[in-house]
Amino acid sequence: MTDTKWLPDIAGAEGPKYRALADALRHDVREGTLEPGTRLPPVRDLAWRLNVTPGTVARAYQIATDAGLLEATVGRGTFVRGTRHEEADSSILIMPEPEAPGMYDLLASRAVEVGQSAVIGERAAQIATSGLSFTRYAAEPTDLMPCKVAAQAWLSAQGIRCSVENLVLTEGAQNGIFGALQMILGGREPVVLTEQLTYPGFRRAIRGCRARPVAVPSDGEGLIPEALEEACARLPVQAILLSTNVHNPTTVHTPMHRREAIVEIARRHDIQIIEDDVYGISVPGRLPGFDQLCPERAWVTTSLSKCVAAGLRVGFLCCPPGRGQHAPRALRGIGLSTSLLLAGLVENLITSGEADRIREQVWAELDARRNIAAEKLQGLDFRSRKGLNFIWVPLPMSWRVTAFVTSCERNGVLVAGSDVFASSDEKAPAAIRIALSGPPNRRRLEHALGRVAALLREPPPDLIA
């Protein structure tokens, strides 16, 4: 353990001082200036030396702690964590802080606002006065059966095959992943394989189930079969967690021959496959998934958060045949049951056709926003797909991703660096993810993308590694 006289220069920083201090912490931890195990100055000492209030320092420390960069121990102090990326706070990618004046949010990945809030509010009011009893918990399967029947038909229309008996309502897609892991994993320190870059919340869910996440090398078509075979032969692998229809953050779409190779390996080693398809139902042209290729070992989880409305907080877990009856019990560790009100609301949106109408409007708005991105980033390399609410922007290999993210934030724009999606022992490619759905309107998106484009075309000198 080492102490530090760490004293960042935040005098000329724009915006709140606590945010500038948190940015400096993140930069110095990830660049290695603050090494793992280093004890930071006490709150009052650093506040006095920076000429700020103790509350400013405390808030910055808390932000860095929530992001997995620091850990605080009562009576000992605040320390730099030993793993800098593994415990990254995934909530910043879907629930960033409200936009501060002059700041543009290109972090939040969700269904873009197209007026659905008013429609959903009206439908919710109707359901709330329809005679439902809210004094008890929803009972499986009777109370939730109407929603499950509607959801099963809707998912089937999207290309996801699952019987009503094996369909489980969840509190969002990640809740479904947690439930699948609970039912699959057993023994001492089982291993769950993930893609090389993956949503950080997946690793947290795996660790929350006392398993070890291991990243498998990937390329432009998804997981590399040879690397997957090697990992399955070497490690006590019990499950593979991946996204083949839309990979977050790279937008990669895994072709059929690669999916078939993954299925062959999973069957040979008797491994379960968990498919996160939350983005897959948001884009047209879905290929047959593992629910069709290997239904005996496929778990598919998805939700309405990217294509209808994130605030609905109802997701769907499609289990292998005969496994659905056990899922509600597995999910009770993090929630007793799905809300009757939300289940009724989702059923109403689906059966009335409103969910499909909203999704079409979301697609149209995202088409317009992708056109704005193409105009602002003309001549620059980026990847996008129809119906997808984010784009992937590769950077020159010599650039430091954290420095570019910090430069964007200093210019009033929040973006996600590739390091957020990488595990602690993996080197992330030079790239950023930009969420087109973050800004509330196209005008703010134009302004935000204009600032990012200016930095891409004329980068500050400190970006070069």
pLDDT in tens, 112-121: 999 999 999 9
pLDDT band for position 236 (50/70/90)?
A: very high
Q: What is the DSSP letter of 247?
A: -
Looking at residue 434, its pLDDT comes to 98
What pLDDT does residue 167 have?
Answer: 94
Q: Are strands 431-435 and 416-417 parallel, antiparallel or unpaired?
A: antiparallel
Provide the phi-psi class of 437: left if phi over 0, else alpha when psi is between -120 and 50, else beta.
alpha
Cβ contact 314:342 at 8 Å: yes
Domain ranges in the chain? 2-80, 91-114+356-463, 116-352
For residues 260 and 287, what is the distance between their CA atoms, to the nearest angstrom? 12
Provide the pLDDT for residue 75.
62
In CATH terms, the fold of domain 91-114+356-463 is Aspartate Aminotransferase, domain 1 (3.90.1150)
Bigger pLDDT: 84 or 210? 210
Q: What is the largest CA-CA distance in the chain?
A: 64
Which residues sit opposite 193 in a β-bridge?
Answer: 214, 240
Give me the CATH code for the 2-80 domain, please: 1.10.10.10
In this prediction, residue 91 carries a pLDDT of: 52
15 pLDDT more than 80: no
Return the SS3 of 191. Answer: strand
Task: Give the Cα separation of 218 and 198 in Å (integer).
Answer: 11
Among the listed ranges 81-90, 248-257, 370-379, which one has the minimum average pLDDT value? 81-90
From the centroid of its chain, how far is CA 121? 26
CB 148 within 8 A of CB 163: no
**For 163-185, what is each residue's pLDDT tens digit?**
999 999 998 898 899 999 999 99
Supply the pLDDT for residue 28. 85
**In whole angstroms, what is the distance from residue 25 CA to residue 23 CA?**
5
Q: Are 116 and 361 in contact (CB under 8 A)?
A: yes
Q: CATH number of the domain at 116-352, out of 3.40.640.10, 3.40.50.620, 3.20.20.70, 3.90.1010.10?
A: 3.40.640.10
Asked if 387 and 306 count as a contact pair (C-beta separation under 8 A), the reply is: no
pTM for the model stands at: 0.80
**Out of 140-149, 216-225, 440-449, least confident range:** 140-149
